[in-house]
Amino acid sequence: MTYFQYFDTVSYIYSYKYDTKTEFESNCAIAEDVLSYYHKLFDIYYEYEGVTNLCTINKNAGKEALTVDRELIVFLEYCKELYELTGGKMNPMLGSVLRIWHDARTLATENPSQAALPALSVLEEADRHTDFGLLEIDESKCTVRISDPAASIDVGAVAKGYAVEMAARALEEKGITSYVFNVGGNIRIIGTKPDGDGWVTGIKDPKNPDYSYSMYLKISDTACVTSGVYERFFTVNGNRYHHIIDPDTLMPADYFDSVTILTEHSGLADALSTALFCMSYADGKALIEAIPGVEAVWIFGDGSTEKSSGVTPFDYNNKK
Ligand code: ADP
Ligand code: MG
């Protein structure tokens, strides 16, 4: 197993195969190069030598178009598809609104006595700059521009999953199987265990995320991504405010305690977990059932659960 740190979370890769140490290390190095590349490309807080990343693009909002790596164009086009697929519930151009929540959370964490909610009027003003059309992607010129100086991009809802997908594919292209990526809870499994069996994972109990699980699943050849209330939050007057913002209310979405998505593409899983977290169970279920190869598990505030038609919980005690 190898540990590393990208996207602000502890992550690891491990293999079920009996690779030699050298093989394992060389495979991990390939994956880490990919993760590190996308980590830099998607960062909205820091710029890095030799790369035009989202931070640079945000700083340049309202100014000229910037030439970027082709990888970023491909990714942003994919974001557009996801935005449309989710009816705008996963909106990477929500940056101006997300920044206000981010600042409130930072202040509350550093200085709990000053913890306060952002004013709705401030959020509404920011929301006037969240139209996806403000992001101008020119495929042929390989350039990107944000046309409104007050708008900004934030791909936190999909970045980790997409980067993990790219890393997993780099290994798959080499014919590698039986590897597991866990990048801050973003799980992506390549193949099965060497004996052909699936891999058992647990969906955390949102009320007790460090110690217990609400459901177990046996999975292979898939991604498994959860968005939950317990991941990042701050507290004001005893109420918790987490980090997934419903674009329609501009407030933390409060339909569920968590939503888990299972599908092959870990970027799709990540985007859908955030999007479904921001829509009712009925809307989310209709969306999931309309996309082939996608399954979901919803956990409600009272601890009850729902699952889409293709999900079979694994019975840990009877090992079935
Ligand atoms: P995590 O990254 O913590 O596992 P998510 O995948 O659900 O959780 O992504 C949450 C992040 O996505 C937030 O920190 C924020 O940057 C961004 N975000 C929050 N709400 C939305 C939304 N409705 N649409 C797009 N991005 C969002
Ligand atoms: Mg997500």
Q: Which residue among 39, 98, 127, 229 has the greatest number of ligand 1 atoms within 8 angstroms of its CB, and so is best to mutate?
A: 98
292: exposed, middle or buried (C-beta count within 10 Å: 0-12, 13-18, 19+)? exposed
Q: Which residue among 89, 135, 244, 272 has the greatest number of ligand 1 atoms within 8 angstroms of its CB, and so is best to mutate?
A: 244
The string of pLDDT tens digits covering residues 107-135 is 999 998 899 999 999 999 999 999 999 99
* Cα first-last separation, the chain: 27
Nearest ligand atom owner, CA of 79 = 1
Residue 1 has what pLDDT? 54
Other Cβ atoms closer than 10 A to 249? 12
The string of pLDDT tens digits covering residues 54-106 is 999 999 999 999 999 999 999 999 999 999 999 999 999 999 999 999 999 99
CA 162 to ligand 2 centroid distance, Å = 10
Question: What is the token pair recorded at 79?
Answer: 């974001």
* Helix, strand or coil, per DSSP, at residue 251: coil
Q: What is the pTM of this model?
A: 0.95
